[in-house]
Amino acid sequence: MLNKKMVLIGGGNMGKSLLRGILNAGLTPAGNLTVVDVHAGKLDALHKDYGVPVARDPRSVVAGAELVILAVKPMTLNEVLDSIREVVRPEQLFISIIAGVESSYIRDRLGKGNPVVRAMPNIAATVDAAASAIAACPPATEDHLALAEAIFAAVGEVVRVEEEHLDAVTGLSGSGPAYIYMVIEALCDGGVKVGLPRDVAMRLATQTVFGAAKLVKETGQHPAALKDQVTTPGGTTIAAVHELEERGLRAMLISAVVTATERSRDLNTIARRK
């Protein structure tokens, strides 16, 4: 148990997932985790469901925190940082999940030299299956990174990267769920085309993607080796693999990651110019 006094600013989709993960993993007691949001209704629900203290004004609670998690939308960030600047103490750790905002920007806007860890989780945090990456900005230490790692491990897998790689992380795992949703939908359509009822096709397609990922994860085998194990000479699977190669499935997915990464870099550059 970390047992830190935490404040979570932004009790929306991602904030709520982190809150649930932190409490389920027993990282800190509910009484130590205050949620700040602008919506009284959202706060009431979080208080009722999780027993956490809540506040509408971050200034009233940030002063007493050891760790502040920023989970608001990018356009709200400046307002939040400016409102808490006066009460922030330099030793407080900030963890930001805000897409496209460099950790040094947060540290510099707060103006007290705080350690900041920036994270890029993905939407699967809502079911504790996120793929997250974290990066630290000076003066964050190993202890700060380990603390952030424990929090994101509570909602899935977490890896450490250099901050310069967070655009690539956005292109791969941040945007990746959408690519896989398209794969599931297309597999389902394929099943329907060859005569399966849609609900049956959807269940089979979803479980096939889930099971294949689970096998890669649990065996640690290379996906190419697992693919070779299921392709009988002259059989059905190798015929389909040939079709996928001819139509460029792998090149298409590689291009998708590259394009999303470039777009993330462009958006960050535009944001920096503002």
Which residues make up the interface to ligand NAP (CB under 6 A)? Answer: 9-15, 36-39, 42, 71-74, 76, 79-80, 97-99, 120-123, 174
Given the complex with ligand NAP, which of 81 and 93 has the nearer CB atom? 81
Q: What is the 3-state secondary structure (H, E, C) of 91-143?
A: CCEEEECCCCCCHHHHHHHHCCCCCEEEEECCHHHHHCCEEEEEEEECCCCHH
Least distance from ligand NAP to the Cβ atom of residue 222, Å: 28
Does residue 74 have a cis bond before it (omega within 30 degrees)? no
Least distance from ligand NAP to the Cβ atom of residue 242, Å: 35
Given the complex with ligand NAP, which of 71 and 201 has the nearer CB atom? 71
Least distance from ligand NAP to the Cβ atom of residue 88, Å: 15
68: β partners: 7, 94
Given the complex with ligand NAP, which of 97 and 136 has the nearer CB atom? 97
Encoding tokens for residue 182? 């398209």
Least distance from ligand NAP to the Cβ atom of residue 188, Å: 23
Given the complex with ligand NAP, which of 74 and 138 has the nearer CB atom? 74
Given the complex with ligand NAP, which of 62 and 201 has the nearer CB atom? 62
> CA nearest 4: which of 94, 62, 65?
65
- Residue 158: its H or E element: strand 156-160
Q: How far apart are CA 31 and CA 246, in angstroms?
A: 57
Least distance from ligand NAP to the Cβ atom of residue 189, Å: 25
Interior/surface letters 82-118, b for 16+ CB within 10 angstroms, e for the rest: eebeeebeeebbbbbbbbbbbbebbbeebeeebbbbb
**Which residue minimizes CB distance to ligand NAP?**
12
Least distance from ligand NAP to the Cβ atom of residue 123, Å: 4
Given the complex with ligand NAP, which of 184 and 204 has the nearer CB atom? 184
